[in-house]
Amino acid sequence: MSKPTLEMTNSRPNDATLLADEAKYCSFGDTVHYVEPPKIFDGCEGSYMYDKEGKAFLDLQMWYSACNFGYANERLNNVLKKQIDTLPQCASQYLHPTKIELAKTIAQGMEKRFGYEGRVHFNVGGSQCIEDSLKVVRNATGGKSLMFAFQGGYHGRTLGASSITSSYRYRRRYGHFGDRAMFVPFPYPFRRPKGMTAEEYGEHLVAEFARLFETEYHGVWDPKVGQAEYAAFYAEPLQATGGYIVPPRNYFKGLKKVLDQYGILLVVDEIQMGFYRTGKLWSIEHFDVKPDVVVFAKALTNGLNPLGGLWAREELINPEVFPVGSTHSTFASNPLGTAVGLEVLKMTSETDYEKMVMDSGAYFLEGLKTLEKKHKEIGEVDGLGLALRAEICTEDGFTANKALVDKMVDIGMSGDLDWKGTKMGLVLDIGGYYKNVITFAPSLHISRQEIDQGIELLDQLITRAKKEL
């Protein structure tokens, strides 16, 4: 556990003063106050965040998978610094080299993986890129505005993204959403019906979805003209906010067959699971299907710049179909972001990230399994690569236990855990349908020693939390 490279400073106001000012002057409309009181950090490096006193907090969620390559990654930071001294700004109506190079690298990679020619369009973050994808899809399907999406799915909180995000709480106060998606069940193996294997469960859900097209009276299909009312299906290959759920390997192949049969596009949201989080550049690669559109953001710049984008098949996004001015953002494809994004893809092409992530993920999962055996409140651990989950339950090992996991988060953020005689903290993120799942997204460069440390701290957390409830 190294010390942060940034020098801690005592020149700023103390935390109590800052929190008082934040309470008076900052909107509470973001997610800061999910944790009370909010935590103030002053430095970061590798797998750790540091507070003003220099106390280390092992981060096992890495800014919701935005910092896949570790905090203060020297190689990526240096590229950003160089770009600041070269071409720090450029209006998005003009070109600069790294925009073109990054788009080419992504598009050629997609063609190699999926066999389709296509193009890349950039924007400034995940929700905005989802918005752009909705424009691409609506435009390519003659203006159809209805989509399929998953229960438990999360695609952002802008108005368009909220319409395909299943949680009503993101829409409730903002008027009527006439174009709200039809939400269908995502395969949730831990909570599948009794008597089914995971694969049978996947096949069952595909068959239930296919039944929507059997007759016009199910409301999605007109057999007389052979046309669906729905334009696309928006899917996270592994649900993120939904609890890092790993579907059965046969599920997406069956789903895509139905979508192709009825002319419905598959839009894959890789905003949280892309860039080797699951051991593949794109998590959809694990499931042997070819998407029509891929949306990405977050780890493209390792959290150094809010840059994201989408890739779409050529026939959906070529200049004749999606002409100049179809969408725009002032900061889209900014040179700071595209320079770092290009370096991320260069870096990942030089190292076997697939092997590295799968090996580390297997090691981490084994550690979680030891905790599962020790604590009957851990109902399930699972994962793919370094996207891992632990479902926290009551003593029956199944009933969701939000109170226990909330207590664990609070203890972790208190910075009062013991590591070989030193006080430290643990940063976790909580997801799941019942808000009882710890979702692990550690640095892809996490060491074995740091994984061991994380398992030990998790053991302390759940042990203390059970006593304090």
* Any domain includes 55: yes
**How far is Cα 208 from Cα 182, in angstroms, rounded to an integer?**
14
The token duo for 450 is: 């740091």
Q: Is 388 left (phi over 0), alpha (psi -120 to 50) or beta?
A: beta
* Any domain includes 380: yes
Interior angle at CA 432, CA 22 and CA 45, nearest 5: 50
**Last residue of one domain, picked from the residues 350, 377, 402:** 350
* Any domain includes 309: yes
Interior angle at CA 314, CA 308 and CA 316, nearest 5: 80
Of residues 458, 371, 361, the one with CA closest to residue 408: 458
Report field, pTM of the whole predicted structure over 0.95: yes
Same domain assignment for residues 295 and 366? no
**Last residue of one domain, picked from the residues 350, 381, 414:** 350
Same domain assignment for residues 312 and 363? no
Which structural domain range is residue 56 located in?
15-61+353-468
| DSSP string for residues in 413-438 | HHT-EEETTEEEEEE-EEESTTS-EE
Interior angle at CA 167, CA 161 and CA 170, nearest 5: 60
Q: What does each of the 469 residues of the chain score in pLDDT, given as a tens digit? A: 655 544 545 578 999 999 999 999 999 999 999 989 999 999 999 999 999 999 999 999 999 999 999 999 999 999 999 999 999 999 999 999 999 999 999 999 999 999 999 999 999 999 999 999 999 999 999 999 999 999 999 999 999 999 999 999 999 999 999 999 999 999 999 999 999 999 999 999 999 999 999 999 999 999 999 999 999 999 999 999 999 999 999 999 999 999 999 999 999 999 999 999 999 999 999 999 999 999 999 999 999 999 999 999 999 999 999 999 999 999 999 999 999 999 999 999 999 999 999 999 999 999 999 999 999 999 999 999 999 999 999 999 999 999 999 999 999 999 999 999 999 999 999 999 999 999 999 999 999 999 999 999 999 999 999 999 9
Of residues 184, 235, 230, 226, the one with CA closest to residue 205: 184
* Any domain includes 6: no
Contact assessment for residue 360 and residue 354, using Cβ atoms and an 8 Å cutoff: no
Contact assessment for residue 57 and residue 417, using Cβ atoms and an 8 Å cutoff: no
How many other CB atoms are found less than 10 A from the CB of residue 347? 16
Which one-letter amino acid corresponds to residue 434? Y
**How far is Cα 189 from Cα 383, in angstroms, rounded to an integer?**
12
**Last residue of one domain, picked from the residues 328, 350, 372:** 350
- What's the total number of domains in the chain? 2
* Any domain includes 327: yes
